Amino acid sequence: MKARPLSHLDIRPGVSPEKAGNLPGRFEKERGKGLAFFLAIAVLLLSGCGGEKAAPDATRTKEPLISGVVIETLAPVRVAESFEATGTVKAVHTSIVAARVMGTVTSLAVKEGDLVEKGQLLLTIDDRDAVQREKAAEAGYAEALKARETAGQSRTLSELTASRYRKMYDEKAISRQEMDQFETQSRVAALEQERVQETVHRAAAALSEARIYRGFTQVVSPLRGRVTEKRTEVGSMAVPGVPLLTVESAADFQAEIAVDESLSGRLKVGTPVPVLIEALDLRTTGRIAEILPTVDPQSRSFTAKVVLNGPGLRSGLYAKALLPKGEKEALLVPRTAIVEKGQLTGLYAADGQGVVSYRLVRIGRTYDGRLEILSGLRAGDRIIVGGVEKAVDGGILATGK
């Protein structure tokens, strides 16, 4: 037997030369079995894919038909353009109450938020010195009255004496010198009475002043309104001119609006202005009562005062005003067309084929109950304004185009 050459498999350790000679045939046989297995798996996979590909198109969902809705075609309309300005509500009449005399506050009759009437007592100041001043003035006045009475009696006596001596002078019983003396005494008595009368007037004025001064120790409300600020307490020192309380009118209010300088000269006193008070959910219409001519160089705005009426108004509230600016074209839609989905705001529109889609829009101001569309739509678009609850994104109008 001839020896054949060994392959690289013949040199594996632990394999005899006889067995090594049969390894190539065995390897080819096993490789054939594995290849047949993988071919079978591939055929199964291909047949499965082919089955899915051949599935009928009946599984696709048919678009829903939409009926019972109202369609409106958008068209631009002319609306009054306005400028939105902000401001603060303030009382038309505000009084800062201060003392006229110096002294210790002895009582407080009101607190912040109280409604007060005109002339109602607000607080009192120590009046002991004012009381003594009033008593001294009363005594001086009484003394002046007595002096006037004495002067009057002296004048009467002097006039009677002069009358008697005039008769005696006419009868040549006394000399002319004696007669002149009695007449002079009568005139002096009259002058004294007039002087004392002026003293009475001064004493009466001093008494009135003392009583007014004492009245300053009782601080009263200068108007009917509400106490909005209290800056003192019992025991504090009241100093003339230093504010103690603030009282604002409870009936008349106005919004002081900051207006852009571009509207300078366009606004007029008496113009009606829509105003929104968000804190009160109040929509009212006021009228421009005053326009300040100066422009703030920092904010580039001037102030317009708009008189307001409405329940619950009070100073400090935030106000928005729509000031007339001119006219413009706008796209308006009814509120019923707006559909909100979470944080999204939009509406349903139909194209030329009747396919409905949800359009996101940006909303502007309200004009006569209709909302201005700033973006998302254009003139000629058809939108659903009624029966929006029946609309479905991707649906088709049952009536077609």
Residues 291-332: pLDDT tens digits? 998 999 999 999 999 999 888 888 899 999 988 887 888 999
pLDDT band at residue 163 using 50, 70 and 90 as cut-offs: confident
pLDDT band at residue 400 using 50, 70 and 90 as cut-offs: low
Instruction: At 157, give phi and psi (nearest 5°).
Output: -65, -40
Residue 55, pLDDT above cutoff 60: no
Residue where a domain stops, chosen among 270, 293, 328? 328
- Residue pair 279/264 in contact (Cβ under 8 Å)? The answer is no
133 and 206 co-located in one domain: yes
**Cβ-proximal residues to 274 (8 Å cutoff; 6+ apart), any chain:** 82, 283, 284, 285, 321, 322
Q: What is the pLDDT at residue 183?
A: 87
User: How would you classify the pairing of strands 382-386 and 339-341?
Assistant: unpaired
Tens-digit pLDDT profile for residues 231-255: 999 999 999 999 999 999 888 899 9
Residue 27, pLDDT above cutoff 50: no
CA distance 378 to 387: 22
Q: Considering the domain boundaries, does residue 116 fall inside one?
A: no
- CATH number (domain holding residue 274): 2.40.30.170
166 and 210 co-located in one domain: yes
Q: Considering the domain boundaries, does residue 109 fall inside one?
A: no
- Residue pair 319/305 in contact (Cβ under 8 Å)? The answer is no
Residue where a domain stops, chosen among 300, 328, 356? 328
202 and 134 co-located in one domain: yes
Q: Considering the domain boundaries, does residue 114 fall inside one?
A: no
324 and 336 co-located in one domain: no
pLDDT band at residue 369 using 50, 70 and 90 as cut-offs: confident
Rounded mean pLDDT of the chain?
83
Segments forming the whole domain that contains residue 20: 8-45
316 and 350 co-located in one domain: no
Q: What is the pLDDT at residue 5?
A: 43
CA distance 141 to 146: 9
Q: Name the nearest CA neighbour of 312 among 278, 345, 363, 353.
A: 278
313 and 370 co-located in one domain: no
Q: Considering the domain boundaries, does residue 391 fall inside one?
A: yes
Q: Considering the domain boundaries, does residue 209 fall inside one?
A: yes
317 and 352 co-located in one domain: no
Q: Report the pLDDT averaged over residues 138-143.
A: 94
Percent of residues, the chain, with pLDDT higher than 70 = 84
288 and 358 co-located in one domain: no
Residue 353, pLDDT above cutoff 50: yes
Q: Report the pLDDT averaged over residues 341-369.
A: 91
Residue where a domain stops, chosen among 309, 328, 347? 328
335 and 356 co-located in one domain: yes
Q: Considering the domain boundaries, does residue 234 fall inside one?
A: no
Exposure string over 40-61, b if 16+ CB within 10 A, otherwise e: eeeeeeeeeeeeeeeeeeeeee
Q: Name the nearest CA neighbour of 248 among 228, 219, 232.
A: 228
287 and 347 co-located in one domain: no
Residue 18, pLDDT above cutoff 50: no
Q: What is the pLDDT at residue 56?
A: 39
Q: Which residues pair with 87 in a beta bridge?
A: 257, 319
Q: Considering the domain boundaries, does residue 97 fall inside one?
A: no
Q: State the total domains in the chain.
A: 4
Q: What is the pLDDT at residue 7?
A: 39
pLDDT band at residue 205 using 50, 70 and 90 as cut-offs: very high
Q: What is the pLDDT at residue 15?
A: 44
Tell me which amino acid residue 289 is.
A
Q: Report the pLDDT averaged over residues 60-64.
A: 63
CA distance 322 to 366: 11
183 and 135 co-located in one domain: yes
CA distance 196 to 185: 16
Q: Which residues pair with 328 in a beta bridge?
A: 79
381 and 317 co-located in one domain: no
CA distance 188 to 176: 18
Tens-digit pLDDT profile for residues 174-189: 888 888 888 888 889 8
Tens-digit pLDDT profile for residues 75-115: 999 988 888 899 999 999 999 999 999 999 999 999 998 99
- Identify the residue with better confidence: 40 or 260: 260
Count CB neighbours of 292 within 10 A: 12
Sign of the alpha-carbon torsion through 2, 6, 9, 13: positive
Q: Considering the domain boundaries, does residue 255 fall inside one?
A: yes
- CATH number (domain holding residue 70): 2.40.420.20
- Residue pair 97/242 in contact (Cβ under 8 Å)? The answer is no
